[in-house]
Structure 1
Amino acid sequence: MISVDDHLQRCLAGVRPLEPIELGLLEAQDCVLAEDVVSPLDLPGFDNSAMDGYAVRVDDVAAASDDSPVTLPVVADIPAGSIDHLRLADGQAMRIMTGAPVPAGAEAVVPVEASDGGVRAVELRAGASSGQHVRRVGTDVRTGDVVLRAGVSLGPAQLALLAAVGRARVRVHARPRVVVLSTGSELVEPGTTPGFGQVVDSNGVMLTAAAIDAGARPYRVGLVRDEPGTFLQTLTDQLVRADVVVTTGGVSAGAYDTVKEVLRGLGTVWFGKVAMQPGMPQGFGTVGPDETPIFTLPGNPVSAYVSFEMFVRPAIRKMAGHRSLFRRSETAVALESWSAPRGKLQLARVELGTSDDGRRVARLAGGQGSYVLGGLARAGALAVVPEDVTRVEEGDEVQCLVLDRRAR
């Protein structure tokens, strides 16, 4: 039996970031940037108004107040999008809209709220300091600035910045294509009422969703019966579209453990026991002419999910170019006691909350059996109990891997 860390390092050593590809901006969302991006232009590209108001010279409005407004002629209107090169002379004002170019000679913008809103002439009831409400050219980005570094994950703000500096396409690490294979003659498709001895393939749905959450492009393959020839043919057919293969079921020591039987014959996949609960039986290696990584996970649903979180998700993120591979960790106080197996890393499903005094707290999310999907669905984290701890007592601090869900 090997440790969780040893198996994780084996898995991470067996994958590498995918080669960069060029994508359109919206296609690149959530991908990792594979190049430094240098701006070819200034942002803003011209001095523009931060307010609806009046462009003025500072001296012309120095004495303006509520009690003693200054009246100036309005010699032009400047809407956003104007391409006219205007110049403001002494003793004049120009009505200007937010985002419109500030005319040459203007030093500030007086907000429309500090005026009577005049069109031909305006009463201004407030003075202005130099640069007031003016966005100066290049105050955000200068030509030649590196605006984004390779390794950044592209979200809405980063995509907006790329668009603003003139990029329509960008080089990123591709999302790994993950083929998910559910094995077992007992399985039936979701939406089917299972008969006696049959089980709905919840694992295939769960692992496909987990791959999406990890940033991959998954392909859920239909059910594969416990027949060596069928499994090998299905696997071979799927390799053409796979950067990673994930199987579930057929890796224990039973008489019909087809995945282990077939892959052991290839000599490129390791099978063994990992010192963790749940998820002890594991397999990892490569298959096919391109040496495609394959993860063989247990068939029990909680075991499959925890195994994915611990081994497959970090590998997918490495392949996608991410620098942060792991879930964030929080310390929480246990609200109840529970036992843990000696010599194994326990990953207990817990619900996280906050106590009245502001502490992070954790409570077991129902039964901890490897088949208990109800508890898994309620869990917000995995409490990590070290191998040498056999009991967690109420009030103990535990480290928790937070399952980042948007709904929480």
Structure 2
Amino acid sequence: MTDLIKHSPNSPILLTASLHVEEARKAISGLVNELIQESRQLHNASDIESVTLDQAINRILAEDLLSPIDVPAADNSAMDGFAFNGDCLGDSDKTVSLNVIGTAYAGKPYKGNIGQGECLKIMTGALMPDGCDTVIPQEFTESADESAVGFKQNQVKRGENRRLRGEDLLSGKAAIAAGRLLRPSDLGLAASLGIASLKVHRKLKVAILSSGDELRPLGSPLDAGSIYDSNRYSLTGLLNRLNLEIMDCGIVRDDPTSLKAAFIEATSKADVLISSGGVSVGEADFTKQIMQELGDVGFWKIAMRPGRPMAFGILKPIQGSSRKTLFFGLPGNPVAVMVTFYQFVRAALLQLNGASQTEPPMTQAIAEAPIRKKPGRTEFQRAILGRNSDGKPMVKLTGSQGAGILRSMSEANCFVILSHDQGNVAAGDWVNVALFDGLL
């Protein structure tokens, strides 16, 4: 099987056996890496741009973000309480009494000196005054009024509840590493450092199209045997979650002239082309012929459910361009489109766009009911993750798992992922789960 998935830009992928899911991922990642290396050799400076923080969400950071300051900028209190010199502390439960001589607020440092037997009422974030190295939290004091406070010697250790200058981040150190898919917390971190713009990788331009004579656009009447095209809307939503530029090529009929023209247009303008439909065994022969004319594209069978048929490869540069176009030919069934996007396309897009972390995180949950599963393929069951009465994570399927039942995806918030060699799952068994929300 390993020999079947070897690929270079000059050797198309032509597979007759079914690939394991992990083998398919490895082959895709390898080909994407080849594209990245070719792009680096071109030294294309236009692949990096500077954007303001309000434009940076879900963009890929192109270079390490170095902190221009120490964080925190000075020693400060981590608690609301009383700051004092820790010389008075010990291991006994003897009560320490200190005179309160003032108050320090965040943004309003106390300017006086703190002597022996004295302390300062201090708020979280306020600068530590000279002579103080420890803070006793307000709730740990036995007695406190405007002029004095008492607490046991062993209630706190010297140096506790004080944040040291630079302990979070030193000036000149990387606050955020290159390759980060920027999240809201990253934008807040950059702002806290006084940084107003970030260097990010250029948005990938992704062309999408749906192929099939049975497809109709929204707003048109449905005749016998026709259906509305939902796949482009699902794909648009998925791509918008990654903040990518989308080129909608519409619905393409099942004829060689239309399909070839759509592929050429997309290849001339886009970094990636994603089509849905036309990749199942037995479908129009010209589809395979056209794709092989335009590039190195193989038709795969993947040992998974749903989403077994898929095409993948490279479309050659068009009209003098030096840019090659990454191609994914996804199944036509609405659920299979989304499953294959989650499992293969998403990671490839992130990798091609410079992201260092491309795979979604996994967790585990208890199966609420039995799940039927045949060994020999990886299954992605749509499910709802919640908690049982004991507070443990519990997952239940959304009902029928047919590849055409898009409602099952709409109701779900996760996939239950059943591995290639796994068999039936009993109620109460732990299963692997990949969440939807927060990933895209």
TM range (shorter): 0.7 to 0.9
Task: Report matched runs for 1:202-351 at 5 Å.
Answer: 202-213=230-241, 215-219=242-246, 221-226=248-253, 227-239=255-267, 241-253=269-281, 256=284, 259-289=287-317, 290-320=323-353, 321-328=355-362, 330=364, 332-333=366-367, 335-336=369-370, 338=372, 340=374, 343-351=376-384
CA distance, structure 2, for counterparts of residue 59 and residue 386 of structure 1: 63
Structure 2 match to 1:392: 424
Q: Does 1:11 align with 2:28?
A: yes
1:25 to 30, 38, 53: 53
Q: What displacement does 1:100 show?
A: 5.2
Letter in 2 for 1:4: H
How many positions carry a matched residue from both structures? Answer: 391
Q: What displacement does 1:31 show?
A: 3.9
CA contact (8 A) 1:385 1:398 kept: no
Letter in 2 for 1:88: N
Instruction: Show CA shifts across 1:30-66 (max 9, x none).
Output: 4444434443432222345567789888999xxxxxx
Letter in 1 for 2:364: E
CA distance, structure 2, for counterparts of residue 28 and residue 20 of structure 1: 13
CA distance, structure 1, for counterparts of residue 129 and residue 272 of structure 2: 58
CA contact (8 A) 2:114 2:120 kept: no
Letter in 1 for 2:372: W
Instruction: Show CA shifts across 1:14-43 (max 9, x none).
Output: 213585544333433344444344434322
Q: What displacement does 1:248 show?
A: 0.3
Structure 1 match to 2:113: 88
Q: What displacement does 1:284 show?
A: 0.8
1:43 to 68, 71, 78: 71
CA contact (8 A) 2:100 2:120 kept: no
Secondary structure (helix, strand or coil) at the match of 2:313 reads strand
2:435 to 382, 385, 403: 403
Q: Which moved more, 1:32-41 or 1:261-270?
A: 32-41
CA contact (8 A) 2:97 2:148 kept: yes
Instruction: Please list every run of 5 or more consecutive structure 1 residues that lacks an aligned counterpart in the other structure.
Output: 61-67, 118-122
CA distance, structure 2, for counterparts of residue 335 and residue 211 of structure 1: 33
RMSD of aligned C-alpha atoms? 4.4
Letter in 2 for 1:236: I
Q: What displacement does 1:354 show?
A: 4.8
Task: Report matched runs for 1:128-143 at 5 Å.
Answer: 135-143=163-171
Secondary structure (helix, strand or coil) at the match of 2:28 reads helix
Secondary structure (helix, strand or coil) at the match of 1:273 reads strand
Q: Kindly tell me: are residues 34 and 396 of structure 1, through their superposed partners in 2, closer, same or farther at Cα, counting changes over 3 Å?
A: same
Q: Kindly tell me: are residues 368 and 218 of structure 1, through their superposed partners in 2, closer, same or farther at Cα, counting changes over 3 Å?
A: farther
Q: Kindly tell me: are residues 47 and 281 of structure 1, through their superposed partners in 2, closer, same or farther at Cα, counting changes over 3 Å?
A: closer
Instruction: Show CA shifts across 1:348-406 (max 9, x none).
Output: 4344455556765554432232212222333431432526x6x6264485743423325
CA contact (8 A) 2:216 2:222 kept: yes
Q: Kindly tell me: are residues 237 and 135 of structure 1, through their superposed partners in 2, closer, same or farther at Cα, counting changes over 3 Å?
A: same
Task: Report matched runs for 1:156-235 at 5 Å.
Answer: 156-190=184-218, 194-213=222-241, 215-219=242-246, 221-226=248-253, 227-235=255-263
Instruction: Please list every run of 5 or more consecutive structure 2 residues that lacks an aligned counterpart in the other structure.
Output: 1-15, 40-46, 89-95, 318-322
Larger Rg: 1
CA distance, structure 1, for counterparts of residue 366 and residue 224 of structure 2: 42
Instruction: Show CA shifts across 1:197-236 (max 9, x none).
Output: 33111111112222344x3515151522314333333333
**When the two structures are superposed, what TM-score results if normalisation uses the length of structure 2?**
0.70
Matched-pair identity in %: 29
1:377 to 406, 410, 416: 410
Instruction: Show CA shifts across 1:110-148 (max 9, x none).
Output: 99998766xxxxx34458998787654334333344444
Q: Kindly tell me: are residues 110 and 124 of structure 1, through their superposed partners in 2, closer, same or farther at Cα, counting changes over 3 Å?
A: farther
Structure 1 match to 2:401: 368
Secondary structure (helix, strand or coil) at the match of 1:349 reads strand
**When the two structures are superposed, what TM-score results if normalisation uses the length of structure 1?**
0.74
CA distance, structure 1, for counterparts of residue 149 and residue 180 of structure 2: 47
CA distance, structure 2, for counterparts of residue 181 and residue 246 of structure 1: 7
CA contact (8 A) 2:114 2:129 kept: no
Secondary structure (helix, strand or coil) at the match of 2:250 reads coil
CA distance, structure 2, for counterparts of residue 358 and residue 98 of structure 1: 33
